[in-house]
Amino acid sequence: MTTMIRILVLCTGNSARSQLAQGYLQHFAGNRAEVYSAGVAPHGVNPLAVQVMAEDGIDIAHHTSNHADEYTDIPFDYVITVCDNAREQCPIFPSSATKIHHSFPDPGVSTPGVDTPGIDAITSFRQVRDQIKVFAREFIATRLPERDGIAH
């Protein structure tokens, strides 16, 4: 019997980058993995993250914003940090977890009075979404290869 691969994606707020990564990793892994996301200072799922994923056919509207401490008892196979702050503040997870860091720009950073509301923000989210999609596809292809003849 094959055990389920467990992946945790960490970011500071668990509102955008980690949510996008969780959505794509789960999409590409299918039933070969359970993917979770969390933050070191969670503050809710950003509606723009939900919107840009829906544009690509992936529904993350049901995702919740969770604190990393909620998952310290789960034996993860991979812990992926998607921002430098999360890597620095990453809780101690079981040593068996492979830790991977790939920093993506924060799509939610804006300069009040300078950015055009709605336009620059959504463009930023789409750009980061596309970067995360490439990372997630490659991660699953190299870390969770299809196993012919094995029930998934």
Q: Is the pLDDT of residue 84 over 60?
A: yes
Within-domain flag for 75: yes
State the average pLDDT over residues 59-87: 90
pLDDT of amino acid 47: 96
Within-domain flag for 40: yes
Q: Which amino acid belongs to residue 138? A: E
Q: What is the pTM of this model?
A: 0.86
If one counts the domains in the chain, the total is 1
State the average pLDDT over residues 78-83: 92
pLDDT of amino acid 95: 64
| 54 part of the active site | no
Within-domain flag for 93: yes
| 90 part of the active site | yes
Residue-number span of the structural domain to which 74 is assigned: 7-143
| 48 part of the active site | no
Within-domain flag for 150: no
Exposed e or buried b for every residue in 22-60, given b needs 16+ CB within 10 A? Answer: bbbbbbbbeebbbbbbbbbebeebbebbbebbeeeebeb
The residue from 8, 11, 38, 80 that is catalytic is: 11
φ, ψ of residue 9 to 5 degrees: the values are -110, 125
3-state secondary structure the chain: CCCCEEEEEEECCCCCHHHHHHHHHHHHHHHHEEEEEEECCCCCCCHHHHHHHHHCCCCCCCCCCCEHHHHCCCCCCEEEECCHHHHHHCCCCCCCCEEEECCCCCCCCCCCCCCCCCHHHHHHHHHHHHHHHHHHHHHHHHHCCCCCCCCC
The residue from 90, 97, 121, 122 that is catalytic is: 90
Task: Note the pLDDT tens digit of each residue in 45-56.
Answer: 999 999 999 999
Task: Note the pLDDT tens digit of each residue in 87-135.
Answer: 666 666 666 889 999 999 988 765 444 445 545 889 999 999 999 999 9
Within-domain flag for 1: no
State the average pLDDT over residues 33-40: 94
- CATH number of the domain within which 77 lies: 3.40.50.2300
The residue from 80, 83, 136, 140 that is catalytic is: 83
Q: Which residues contact 135 (CB under 8 A, 6 or more apart)?
A: 21, 102, 104
